[in-house]
Amino acid sequence: MELDKGKVEAALLNLGLSTKRSKSIARDLSKMDLAVEGKQEVLRQRAFTTSKSIKEIVKED
């Protein structure tokens, strides 16, 4: 599953993460070849966001 790096970054910024951190997480996620659940787990670990927010950022198309 491929993620749009810009959309992920914007969503993380809206959640209150810093620009530098949002860009780093978005870049890393866009490079990973993981299923939806895997990317949600990475976000949970790196961004410390709520499960609801994570599901909105990383969802199946």
Higher pLDDT, 15 or 2: 15
Give the predicted TM-score (pTM) of the model. 0.52
What is the 3-state secondary structure of the chain?
CCCCHHHHHHHHHHCCCCHHHHHHHHHHHHHCCCCHHHHHHHHHHHHCCCHHHHHHHCCCC
Position 4 pLDDT exceeds 80: no
Residue bearing the bigger pLDDT, 51 or 13? 13
For residues 16 and 10, is the Cβ–Cβ distance under 8 A?
no
Which domain range does residue 41 map to?
A: 5-57
Tokens representing residue 5 in the block: 């790096």
Q: What's the domain count of the chain?
A: 1
pLDDT tens-digit readout, 24-52:
877 777 777 767 677 777 777 776 655 55
User: What's the confidence (pLDDT) of residue 28?
Assistant: 76
